[in-house]
Structure 1
């Protein structure tokens, strides 16, 4: 990727030169529990005098500051580690995103959303390792370390992965053949177990050893890690709509591990998702399926049934259904749905004091820190976000020598 496409923003911190090292992970086809890294010297990087903290609302907005650090030579062009604390992996890909778009520098940024901002940066080579630290209630991936490739599907040019995990197959993102491949090492681990608060001090040293974080890396924190809402649960609760969407969007995993089997399963899933998208587009325009001209498949019958129920409730409430919101909810409903757990303030403080602080004190300092609020989109509870943000920023200030946080969300949002 051409360096001139990664534009540097003006950053107030003064700079100094420093030689940093990057540890690379050997490729493995299997999930393993710990990694051993070798150290490779990198060209000299510039260094922030104080660690910058960028606070954004939508999580994908964090990537612009990572790209700025790359452009300013604070991070290497390739091979950075992302330490990602979040209730959601954010590791999906927009199904219509071309691999060439992922490698287009800052032109990529407007194409991203909160759930799909990390893997395109992997495709561009900027990130080669992601460590997702999850709360106990987030179980989208099993714990452990795995490697897989990110690249272009040669038939379509769309960005895909060769990971066979349900997280990717459920969005029809698998391809057994890739070009322009980049290898990602992806580690998943639980940071804090709420049922075992008194044993956390014994678990943190082992966790630090297992994830083996070394410089240069980015510390990325989503505030919904500490208390997690699911905005789709409130959609037409009278008919338990979120549960009704599950049989419409569910799919069966392959019975064997053969590439051809996964290719076929991925093709079937893609056809299913495309059909559902067409059905909900029709609902968005016409409000019902009475004039739908497509084939009356099983998916059509299921969506027809649910649309009648929604229209009855919406008519009683004097509103028009937001069919795209319902479609988006359905897309999250497979594989058990989104995590949901509203923590008490005491639990939040315990997670910080007994989980986050001991962890960060045992790790080297990051190059930069990004913090996502995730409250406008409904994932961090609005009545808790200010308390959590204040607590996290105070904690980061106490552990690191940081600049005052740059509150980016105030420049783009008024609420």
Structure 2
């Protein structure tokens, strides 16, 4: 790993790519791999978001990940991270979530991702509800070309931030001192734009290989309050041992909406939940999980076909399904015709239904104070980590996950935070192109 890092190119200024749709971030990650700024394997992604974004395109052949253009045309905002893990680029994902995000609970877990021997699609060995509800589970024994991926899930709350005073945290002050050195070096063209190990806060004298966990604890400000400090230490260890790090930020981390709540009435959404009802299997036995996954896949395929038929004009009486489901569909259609008039979009029903498992999509429109406090908490956490190779930022406002009325101010705060941490940054507003 160390040898691979020595051959990597260094950016003069840390690039920050700002995109609208989150899956577009993967294009710039792949471009950095192609230009040898990121290694081909062993990258860690630190992902701040109200959503995990770790689903997988359900019917996509696994080998699609090796055809870049086809892959980019297949991905969407909820399923762009794990295909890159299956391709071998990512082996660790750190999901830093706000307290209102509950789709995966706080933990550190490792699982396999691979090509399913029967379907040829990408599946995972994780039994998390997040994956089971989408019928993405397969036991390790059924996976080919499998790769082990580690997932850290950490909650960062707006009360986590340290109190501002006239004394900066040591790690942040170290960064600024190092940036001053870099600025001086740039004048004679000798800058490398990457913290050397002698000045990296996680490689300071108190963060040596002896007693790593204890010394990583010392690198975290004492008044930095996170729900699970043990996971934060595990994250620091993983990031430190990684070939390179990507920092990925979705602006809906700071304030988020569930756009389906505004599209459907409470009555309509309740019917959709019943149609797509998910109850976690009562047994963790492999055979029971496989039987459940097969049944769940059949249900989702049936509901997708029903929505397609209805969109194509098929009358409800000609839809083939059990009587209970047909009754629910009839009630939903009557209600939606009153709400949507002639603009019925049955694909939206299926998209909304696929979000219904044993947790809800997060919905929390933050106050300005909450946003400011979360920004400070993020800055404190990032000040403990080495400088990332590159940063990707998703606005997520066109699809209404990040409130349009707040996205510009949040983006401004985040960019100011990154500049404070990393000095000169090269910001590319790709969403304007």
> 2:248 aligned with 1:220, yes or no?
yes
Equivalents in 2 of 1:271, 1:138: separation in Å?
A: 28
SS in 1 for 2:14: coil
Deviation track 1:359-403 (CA, whole Å, cap 9, x = no partner) reads 111111000000000000110000000000011011111111343
> 2:385 aligned with 1:358, yes or no?
no
> 2:30 aligned with 1:67, yes or no?
yes
**TM-score computed with the length of structure 1 as normaliser:** 0.84
SS in 2 for 1:309: helix
2:262 paired residue number: 234
1:410 paired residue number: 432
SS in 1 for 2:288: helix
Equivalents in 2 of 1:41, 1:77: separation in Å?
A: 9
Equivalents in 1 of 2:372, 2:34: separation in Å?
A: 36
> 1:136–1:194: 8 Å Cα contact kept in structure 2?
no
When residues 329 and 55 of structure 1 are mapped into structure 2, their CA distance, relative to the original with a 3 A threshold, is: same
Which has a greater percent of helix? 2
1:329 aligned residue (340, 348, 352): 352
Equivalents in 1 of 2:47, 2:360: separation in Å?
A: 21
> 2:328 aligned with 1:305, yes or no?
no
1:6 paired residue number: none
> 1:208–1:362: 8 Å Cα contact kept in structure 2?
no
1:175 aligned residue (115, 126, 138): 138
Equivalents in 2 of 1:86, 1:266: separation in Å?
A: 27
1:298 deviates by 3.3
1:164 deviates by 0.8
> 1:373–1:380: 8 Å Cα contact kept in structure 2?
yes
Equivalents in 1 of 2:277, 2:162: separation in Å?
A: 36
Equivalents in 2 of 1:233, 1:137: separation in Å?
A: 16
Superposition RMSD in Å: 2.1
Deviation track 1:92-135 (CA, whole Å, cap 9, x = no partner) reads 01111111112333431111000000000000000000000000
Deviation track 1:126-178 (CA, whole Å, cap 9, x = no partner) reads 00000000000001111111011111111110111111111001001111211
How do residues 163-312 of structure 1 correspond to structure 2 at under 5 angstroms? 163-176=126-139, 177-194=142-159, 201-203=223-225, 208-212=232-236, 213-214=239-240, 216-237=244-265, 239-286=266-313, 288-292=315-319, 294-312=320-338
> 1:153–1:179: 8 Å Cα contact kept in structure 2?
yes
Q: Which has the higher contact order (CA 8 A, sep 6+)?
A: 2
> 2:395 aligned with 1:373, yes or no?
yes
1:95 paired residue number: 58
Equivalents in 2 of 1:265, 1:147: separation in Å?
A: 22
Higher Cα radius of gyration? 2
1:389 paired residue number: 411
> 2:148 aligned with 1:125, yes or no?
no
Deviation track 1:281-314 (CA, whole Å, cap 9, x = no partner) reads 121111741333x244533332222122212333
Equivalents in 2 of 1:195, 1:145: separation in Å?
A: 20
Equivalents in 2 of 1:96, 1:164: separation in Å?
A: 19
How do residues 34-45 of structure 1 correspond to structure 2 at under 5 angstroms? 42-45=5-8
Equivalents in 2 of 1:274, 1:324: separation in Å?
A: 13
1:241 deviates by 2.1
> 1:79–1:127: 8 Å Cα contact kept in structure 2?
yes
> 2:107–2:153: 8 Å Cα contact kept in structure 1?
yes
> 2:428 aligned with 1:400, yes or no?
no
> 1:253–1:265: 8 Å Cα contact kept in structure 2?
no
Equivalents in 2 of 1:99, 1:348: separation in Å?
A: 39
Name structure 2 gaps, 5 residues minimum.
164-220
SS in 2 for 1:250: coil
1:195 deviates by 8.9
2:183 paired residue number: none
How do residues 39-58 of structure 1 correspond to structure 2 at under 5 angstroms? 42-58=5-21
Single out whichever of 185-194 and 379-388 deviates more from structure 2.
Answer: 185-194
SS in 2 for 1:201: coil
SS in 1 for 2:18: strand
Equivalents in 2 of 1:77, 1:373: separation in Å?
A: 27
SS in 2 for 1:48: coil
Equivalents in 2 of 1:265, 1:332: separation in Å?
A: 18
Name structure 1 gaps, 5 residues minimum.
1-19, 22-39
Equivalents in 1 of 2:51, 2:347: separation in Å?
A: 21
